[in-house]
């Protein structure tokens, strides 16, 4: 029996991924030297396709890393002399905050409970903050920060850098990159690819900051500091032996999504999210965890299961559906449903029908 993964990451592979993996093996991509011309072509097409898909301006650099968590560390090392400021609304935004402290910086934060949003007008960001960090969709809680709130932060603090974690929302949100400075994601969520590749997008201001820190003798890391990443990116290469297969698959799936149409993907994401939330709003036993509809994530639906989540997860598993459980302390009390481009409307209908039949 086939199985469909509604887990929040890794998730169901994108429908064309299997075909591309098979072709990659046939074409010896896994044995390809990362110093070859063929690799440089793959690298260049991955960068171009991601830029086209997400509307990333030409003056932004794209760097390939090991994971999204690595991207957090690289951003702190390269964009912060001392002070970062974090909007913490769950476990991943907390991780970003923690990383800054672990690297010996002085992070500050505004924190809200799981499932709640920020009152942006009441938040004072200290003058000394150099970088503002936000998690666009908090995968642990199912909340999203509206992009317009992020843009207005930039308007109020044009001199500060803004970094946005878009791991579990990309490629859904339409982002005006001229109003942020850095964004990052990994590929095992919305792109429906095997884990092991992080993508970091930075503008010239981030690179400039990194150069300034280096000039002042502050460590910005080693092989993956921005200056070294840039040196190799300009040659369509990486400093180390990278995840060549991952970069190849990223190029292919971004191309497939472009062909399918990013606007169609966005529209369908909203349609599926509406069906999911409507269903649980009208369910007697379960309900959406995030009460404020304005901050409910379109890509990660967190559902409260007062009778426990374990039985639901096990029963659906027998029907060929793998659901996400709640995050950490919420493991037994919630289920999480990913709504990524790989999930078709008919998949969502199947899922909701099986939940109805429980
Ligand atoms: C999954 C996730 C991460 C971590 O991604 P890795 O690829 O495991 O490093 C970071 N932020 C958010 C919002 C996530 O959902």
The tens place of each residue's pLDDT in the chain, 358 residues long, gives 579 999 999 999 999 999 999 999 999 999 999 999 999 999 999 999 999 999 999 999 999 999 999 999 999 999 999 999 999 999 999 999 999 999 999 999 999 999 999 999 999 999 999 999 999 999 999 999 999 999 999 999 999 999 999 999 999 999 999 999 999 999 999 999 999 999 999 999 999 999 999 999 999 999 999 999 999 999 999 999 999 999 999 999 999 999 999 999 999 999 999 999 999 999 999 999 999 999 999 999 999 999 999 999 999 999 999 999 999 999 999 999 999 999 999 999 999 999 999 9
Q: Which structure tokens are listed for 179?
A: 């109003």
Cis peptide before 204 (omega within 30 of 0): no
Q: Is 139 in the pocket of ligand 1 (CB under 6 A)?
A: yes
Q: What is the pLDDT of residue 260?
A: 98
- Beta-carbon contacts of 99 under 8 Å, excluding residues fewer than 6 positions away, are 69, 72, 73, 76
- Secondary-structure percent of the chain, ordered helix, strand, coil, rounded to 5: 45, 15, 40
Nearest to residue 135, comparing CAs of 159, 170, 100?
A: 170
Counting from 1 in the atom list of ligand 1, the atom nearest the Cα of 188 is 7
Distance 27 CA to ligand 1 centre (A): 31
Q: What is the pLDDT of residue 84?
A: 98
Name the pTM for this structure.
0.98
Helix/strand/coil for 153: helix
Burial class (CB in 10 A: 0-12, 13-18, 19+), 319: middle
Sign of CA dihedral 41, 56, 68, 300: negative
Contact 323, 284 (CB under 8 A): no
d(CA 175, CA 152): 13
| Ligand 1 binding pocket mutation candidate from 70, 90, 186 (most atoms within 8 A of CB) | 186
Counting from 1 in the atom list of ligand 1, the atom nearest the Cα of 68 is 9
Counting from 1 in the atom list of ligand 1, the atom nearest the Cα of 90 is 13
- Beta-carbon contacts of 167 under 8 Å, excluding residues fewer than 6 positions away, are 9, 68, 92, 135, 137, 139, 184, 185, 186, 189
Counting from 1 in the atom list of ligand 1, the atom nearest the Cα of 186 is 7
Nearest to residue 40, comparing CAs of 226, 244, 201, 196?
A: 244
Nearest to residue 227, comparing CAs of 99, 61, 70?
A: 61
Question: In this structure, what DSSP letter does residue 89 have?
Answer: S
Q: What is the pLDDT of residue 1?
A: 58
| Ligand 1 binding pocket mutation candidate from 10, 75, 97, 167 (most atoms within 8 A of CB) | 167
Question: In this structure, what DSSP letter does residue 295 have?
Answer: G
Distance 295 CA to ligand 1 centre (A): 19
| Ligand 1 binding pocket mutation candidate from 96, 133, 168 (most atoms within 8 A of CB) | 168
Q: Is 197 in the pocket of ligand 1 (CB under 6 A)?
A: no
Nearest to residue 253, comparing CAs of 137, 165, 171, 168?
A: 171
Nearest to residue 161, comparing CAs of 212, 118, 111?
A: 212
Q: Which structure tokens are listed for 15?
A: 């429908």
Nearest to residue 224, comparing CAs of 332, 27, 65?
A: 65
Contact 196, 168 (CB under 8 A): no
Q: What is the pLDDT of residue 2?
A: 78
Q: What is the pLDDT of residue 250?
A: 98
Counting from 1 in the atom list of ligand 1, the atom nearest the Cα of 195 is 7
């Amino acid at each position: 029996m086939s199985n469909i993964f509604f887990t929040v990451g890794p998730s169901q592979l994108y429908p064309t991924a299997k075909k591309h993996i098979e072709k990659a093996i046939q074409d010896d991509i896994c044995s390809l030297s990362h110093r070859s011309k063929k690799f440089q072509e793959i690298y260049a097409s991955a960068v171009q396709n991601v830029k086209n898909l997400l509307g990333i301006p030409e003056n932004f650099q794209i760097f390939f890393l090991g994971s999204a968590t690595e991207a957090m560390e690289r951003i702190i090392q390269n964009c912060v002399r001392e002070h970062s400021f974090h909007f913490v609304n769950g476990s991943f935004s907390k991780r970003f905050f923690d990383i800054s402290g672990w690297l010996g910086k002085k992070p500050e934060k505004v924190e809200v409970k799981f499932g709640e949003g920020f009152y942006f007008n009441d938040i004072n960001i200290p003058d000394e903050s150099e970088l503002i960090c936000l998690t666009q969709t908090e995968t642990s809680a199912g909340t999203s920060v509206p992009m317009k709130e992020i843009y207005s932060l930039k308007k109020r603090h044009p001199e500060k850098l803004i970094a946005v974690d878009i791991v579990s929302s990309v490629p859904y949100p339409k982002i005006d990159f001229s109003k942020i400075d850095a964004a990052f994601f990994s590929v095992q969520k919305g792109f429906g690819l095997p884990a092991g590749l992080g993508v970091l997008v930075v503008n010239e201001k981030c690179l400039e900051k990194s150069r300034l820190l280096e000039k002042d003798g502050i460590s910005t890391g080693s092989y993956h500091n921005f200056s070294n990443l840039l040196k190799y990116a300009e040659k369509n290469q990486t400093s180390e032996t990278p995840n060549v297969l991952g970069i190849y698959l990223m190029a292919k799936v971004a191309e497939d999504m472009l062909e399918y149409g990013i606007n169609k993907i966005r529209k369908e994401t909203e349609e599926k999210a509406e069906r999911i939330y409507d269903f649980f709003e009208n369910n007697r036993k379960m309900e959406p965890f995030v009460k404020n509809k304005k901050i409910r994530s379109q890509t990660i639906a967190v559902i409260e299961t007062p009778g426990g989540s374990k039985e639901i997860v096990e029963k659906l598993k027998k029907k060929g559906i793998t659901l996400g459980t709640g995050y950490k302390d919420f493991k037994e009390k919630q289920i999480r449903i990913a709504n990524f481009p790989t999930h078709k409307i008919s998949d969502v209908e199947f899922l909701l029908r099986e939940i109805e039949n429980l």
